[in-house]
Amino acid sequence: MADTIVLWRTGQAPLRVRGELLARSESSWDTADPEHSGSTGRCEDVRIYRTASGKYVVAIHHRTQWEGEHDTNEAAVLPSLRQCVDYLADKVPGWMLQELIETLGEEAVAEEVE
């Protein structure tokens, strides 16, 4: 079932997405948490959506608890799940990316080698 979601993007117009949530993962700013973001006082909430037209949207909410810093949001429209994984590779901790891959299904994001 497709829902309409508005995804905020810092410094850009928001995206209005008609689609469904496929995967979500959150990190923690708590250094004692096994899902720690790797950056003291900062964490991420990542969501991947499939649009009604078959595209994919990655949305990242970067949160901070530091005075003088602001939470930020980014979102990208991509043609495949594989490109979603590539997009996230340098934006989130490795464990978080692996969790998203497992949720999406390894076959759905596997790199083709011939």
Question: pLDDT (tens digit, 9 = 90+) per residue, 49-94?
Answer: 999 999 999 999 999 999 999 999 999 999 999 999 999 998 998 8
- Identify whether the C-beta of residue 102 lies closer than 8 Å to the C-beta of residue 108: no
Q: Give percent of the chain with pLDDT exceeding 70.
A: 99
Q: Tokens representing 113? A: 């080698």
Look at residue 1 in the predicted model and tell me its pLDDT: 60
Record the pTM: 0.90
Q: Which of 14, 4, 19 is nearest to 50 (CA)?
A: 19
* Closest to 56 (Cα-Cα) out of 99, 88, 93, 13: 88
Average pLDDT over residues 32-44: 79
Which residues, including other chains, have CB under 8 Å from residue 27's CB and lie 6 or more apart? 35, 36, 37, 38, 43, 44, 45, 92, 93, 96
